[in-house]
Amino acid sequence: MPTTKTKAPTMTAAELSDRFLKALGEALHGGDPATDQRIAAAHEALRAIGNEHPHLKCSLPDLALVNYLRTTHAVVRELRDRIAALEQRPASMKYCGTWQPGTTYHKGDLVTKSGSLWIADEPTSVMPDNTPESRKVWRLAAMRGKQGPPGPPGKDASQ
């Protein structure tokens, strides 16, 4: 009884490239904490492709790239966190002068009221003061100081 050899399926370079790009894309997409696991899974998938198709091993992309991505992911994650924190800050701080009734102020706007400087934490038309309603939308940046002593008499400008 003759034995038949099962020929391993062949893979073209294009198919290998497609599998690699799909595995790498899945590994890098999303930017969440599971990315390290997806990179490891892509690494293992590439090894499996190489084991399944030993004749293509020389065509496999350098696995050092995947290792590099794995080691630099922590830096990328830290930078994403820093960017997210910066994006939570007010877009800009703008001094809007003395608080005016009927005006809507936006997050980051600065106004003076009764000698104190206030910063809006969210859009508001509420007057800045120490009431509970105001404290929900305004932060005191600089409080008015006490009245200083009178200065020396000035010169008469008509002389």
Give 80-109 as a DSSP string: HHHHHHHHHS-S--EEEEE--TTPPB-TTE
Helices 63-88, 13-28: crossing angle, 10 deg rounding: 30
Break the chain into its structural domains and give their ranges.
Answer: 13-88, 94-142
Q: Which CATH number applies to 94-142: 1.10.287.70, 3.40.50.10680, 2.10.10.20, 3.40.50.720? A: 2.10.10.20
pLDDT digit string, tens, across residues 118-142: 999 999 999 999 899 999 999 999 9
pLDDT-based confidence at 59, cuts 50/70/90? very low
Min mean pLDDT across 7-11, 86-90, 136-140 is at 7-11
Tell me, yes or no, if the pTM score tops 0.75: no
* Bridge partner residues of 138 (DSSP): 120
